[in-house]
Amino acid sequence: MIGALARTPAALRNFGNSQLATLIGILIAAFGIVLTIQHVLQHDASFFFQILTIGIADGAIYALIALGYTMVYGIIELINFAHGDVFTLGAFISLALFPVFGIAEGASGFSYVLPLLAVGLITMALCAVVNVAIERVAYRPLRHAPRLAPLITAIGMSSILEGAMYLWKGPFNLHYPDLLPLTRLNIGAVSIGVKDLIVLTLAIVLVVAFTLFINLSKLGKAMRATAQDRDAAQLMGIDINRTIAATFFIGAVLAGAGGITYGLYINSVAFDLGFITGLIAFTAAVFGGIGNIPGAAIGGLLIGMVRAFSDSYFDSSWTEIVIFGILIATLVFRPTGLLGMRVPEK
């Protein structure tokens, strides 16, 4: 195959895998880091740690969403555009469930932990059901159709979900109850919000549980096998449809949890929130190496930090340009992502 491609300029063809590309990529990253450090040094240290915790908490939410993208892409090579909207759906469903469980603005204390947990579980289950239904209706019938067909239905499904939430709650920003404690822990000069810690802990618990599930359970093994080679997996007796449905189920559980976490952390949601959040989480998945689960988690954290630093030390109107610039640079200089093991050319 390499011989057959001999007519294309070798330098261009192998650019992404060459040491030169790695070098240029490292130089660009180093430039960004030096620039950031220079700006960081102009402010005091406590501000830096405040931004850092915001970035990590934000990044933990992106990581939860990115896992769903990376799993679905890994298994059926589809950019599931509806995933970001499943995340928003999680926020919306939990918002509607709070009154049912007697949770209102200002509720605090440990008596609310159990109802909150119940809301969380119901939300995650409902999101998972919706996502599995989307897969069943819009993606499964097109598994042998031209590659672009499921992409278009994914966009259609995203539009339908956004439309349903628009119909449900209208076009405005909705207030999400502020339930997490606002106290801050002071360790020396560093002040860390308890809220940030809770979000981070929640994300870590979910990601670790999920990684263990993928690596240790039988279903997780089936998922990995299906992602590697669907036909061979089928020959080994794996029920492909069930495995893919399970992937969508688990992806949506994480996205639903992300939706609640986002609501509790940011306290404001809107029906079209999932669009840009989904794109950024997808960037995180690509940055970490698409199809790679720890990669998605680390990519999410890094993108969250990039976002927080760019917002507060530079100009927030350039943040999304920086993030999508990282997306392009990743694919140009290191197409496999930070931790990528999958080769882009199959």
Residues of this chain that interact with another protein (CB under 8 A) are 1, 4-5, 7-9, 12-13, 15-16, 73, 77, 79, 137-138, 141-142, 144-153, 155-164, 166-167, 170, 231, 275, 279, 282-283, 286, 315, 317-318, 320-321, 324-325, 327-328, 331-332, 335, 344-346
Shortest distance in whole angstroms from residue 163 CB to another protein? 3
- The conformation of residue 8, written as its DSSP 8-state character, comes to S
Shortest distance in whole angstroms from residue 195 CB to another protein? 30
CA 228, CA 38: separation in Å to the nearest integer? 44
Beta carbon nearer to another protein, 148 or 182: 148
Shortest distance in whole angstroms from residue 322 CB to another protein? 9
Coil, strand or helix: which one is 186? strand
Shortest distance in whole angstroms from residue 78 CB to another protein? 9
- The conformation of residue 158, written as its DSSP 8-state character, comes to H
CA 195, CA 53: separation in Å to the nearest integer? 10
Q: Pairing between strand 268-269 and 174-175? A: antiparallel
Beta carbon nearer to another protein, 57 or 86: 86
State residue 242 phi and psi, 5-degree precision.
-65, -40
Beta carbon nearer to another protein, 41 or 236: 236
Beta carbon nearer to another protein, 144 or 218: 144
Beta carbon nearer to another protein, 251 or 337: 337
Beta carbon nearer to another protein, 145 or 341: 145
Identity of the amino acid at 341: M
Where helices occur in 111-239 by DSSP H, the ranges are 113-134, 148-169, 194-216, 218-228, 230-235
CA 104, CA 177: separation in Å to the nearest integer? 7
Shortest distance in whole angstroms from residue 113 CB to another protein? 34
Burial (Cβ within 10 Å: 0-12, 13-18, ≥19) of residue 185: exposed
Beta carbon nearer to another protein, 254 or 286: 286
Query: Buried b vs exposed e over 31-70: b needs ≥16 C-beta within 10 Å?
Result: ebeeebeeebeeeeeeebbbbbbbbbbbbbbbbbbbbbbb
Shortest distance in whole angstroms from residue 317 CB to another protein? 5
Shortest distance in whole angstroms from residue 345 CB to another protein? 5
